[in-house]
Amino acid sequence: MSAPIAAGLLGTDRTMISNIESGRFGISEERLRRLASIYQCDDSTLIDALAEMTGRRKPGWWEEYRGKIPPGFLDVSEIEAHAVRLRTVQTAHLPGMFQTEEHARALFDLIVPPLPRLEVELRVAHRLTRRTVVTGDDPVPYVGVIHEAALRMQIGGRRVARSQLDHLLEESERDNITLLVIPFEAGGFPMAGDSVLYAEAPNLRLDTVHMDSPTGAVFIDSPTQLANFRKRLRLIEEMALSPKNSRDFIYAIAKDL
């Protein structure tokens, strides 16, 4: 159905439909259910999940950074805030929400050309606040796979690296957080070299994958691609060390620093 026809049935104009579809405007639960009926969507589970999201649509903490840091950072924060479970794979870098302040600052200082000091500090503050999704009052379950390469990279020097690994060990003790390590000896694995965030939504069709790229954030929500990512993540998680052995592995690396 075209946007003009949908707009006519909804009693609005095509610009409003366009703004709703692009996420620029919010939508009430009543109007969402009317749109679902207009588009002949009969997936009640999906409709209910979307309706629940309309009730929670209010400015998030990340909005204070709008216009100050790249919008992709804010999109990731919003996706994480609405997720019911998070799964990540990191090969070269440690998970953003578990980076210490010193580690994150040293990482942003490596960007070429150099960022203005104010933007570095804004990015660091934003990154530190992201962790509340897994450490707050209603923490989201999190499963993170980290390659040995990321653990051994001494961003900021030995002291900062040791403090960072100690912090990882502390966070891994939380009931909702599972950190899994893939050692060098495991060899190759699917998505080697990628940085992947898979955010599970209340409904499977609302899941989102975020990947870093040299030109910015990439977001994927195609059902076929999401299914492939779930298969890859399952294989990677099965290849990794157990949670206990992963903690022992991180501890051994930290002890050598």
Share of the chain above pLDDT 70, in %: 83
Torsions phi, psi for 231 (to 5 deg): -65, -45
Torsions phi, psi for 11 (to 5 deg): 80, 35
Residue 72 lies inside a defined structural domain of this protein: no
CA distance 125 to 147: 25
Q: Which residue has the higher pLDDT, 49 or 124?
A: 124
CA-nearest of 140, 204, 151 to 178 is: 140
Task: Reduce the DSSP state of residue 214 to 3 states and report it.
Answer: coil
Are residues 47 and 134 part of one domain?
A: no
Which pLDDT score is estimated for 23? 57
Residue 67 lies inside a defined structural domain of this protein: no
CA distance 172 to 244: 10
Are residues 11 and 136 part of one domain?
A: no
Per residue in 233-247, pLDDT (tens digit) is: 999 999 999 999 999
Are residues 120 and 35 part of one domain?
A: no
Query: H-type helices in 109-183, by residue range?
Result: 117-130, 132-135, 148-152, 158-171
Residue 227 lies inside a defined structural domain of this protein: yes
Task: Reduce the DSSP state of residue 198 to 3 states and report it.
Answer: strand
Which pLDDT score is estimated for 51? 67
Read off the pLDDT band of 24 (50, 70, 90).
Answer: low
- Taking the model in full, what pTM does it have? 0.84
Residue 151 in contact with residue 256, Cβ under 8 Å? no
> Once rounded to an integer, what is the mean pLDDT over residues 8-20?
68
Per residue in 77-133, pLDDT (tens digit) is: 999 999 999 999 999 999 999 999 999 999 999 999 999 999 999 999 999 999 999
Residue 217 lies inside a defined structural domain of this protein: yes
Per residue in 172-194, pLDDT (tens digit) is: 999 999 999 999 999 999 888 88
Are residues 211 and 174 part of one domain?
A: yes
| pLDDT above 60 for 55 | no
Are residues 125 and 17 part of one domain?
A: no
CA distance 211 to 194: 7
CA distance 110 to 113: 9
Task: Reduce the DSSP state of residue 143 to 3 states and report it.
Answer: strand
Are residues 121 and 234 part of one domain?
A: yes
Residue 46 lies inside a defined structural domain of this protein: yes
Are residues 136 and 32 part of one domain?
A: no
Residue 68 lies inside a defined structural domain of this protein: no
Are residues 214 and 88 part of one domain?
A: yes
Picking from 41, 56, 71, the residue at the C-terminal end of a domain is 56
Give the residue numbers spanning the domain of 123. Answer: 79-256
| pLDDT above 80 for 1 | no
Are residues 248 and 186 part of one domain?
A: yes
Residue 71 lies inside a defined structural domain of this protein: no
> Once rounded to an integer, what is the mean pLDDT over residues 21-43?
69
**Total tally of structural domains belonging to the chain:** 2
Residue 133 lies inside a defined structural domain of this protein: yes
Are residues 191 and 83 part of one domain?
A: yes
Are residues 218 and 108 part of one domain?
A: yes
Q: Which residue has the higher pLDDT, 59 or 1?
A: 59
Are residues 136 and 192 part of one domain?
A: yes
Read off the pLDDT band of 32 (50, 70, 90).
Answer: low
Which pLDDT score is estimated for 213? 79
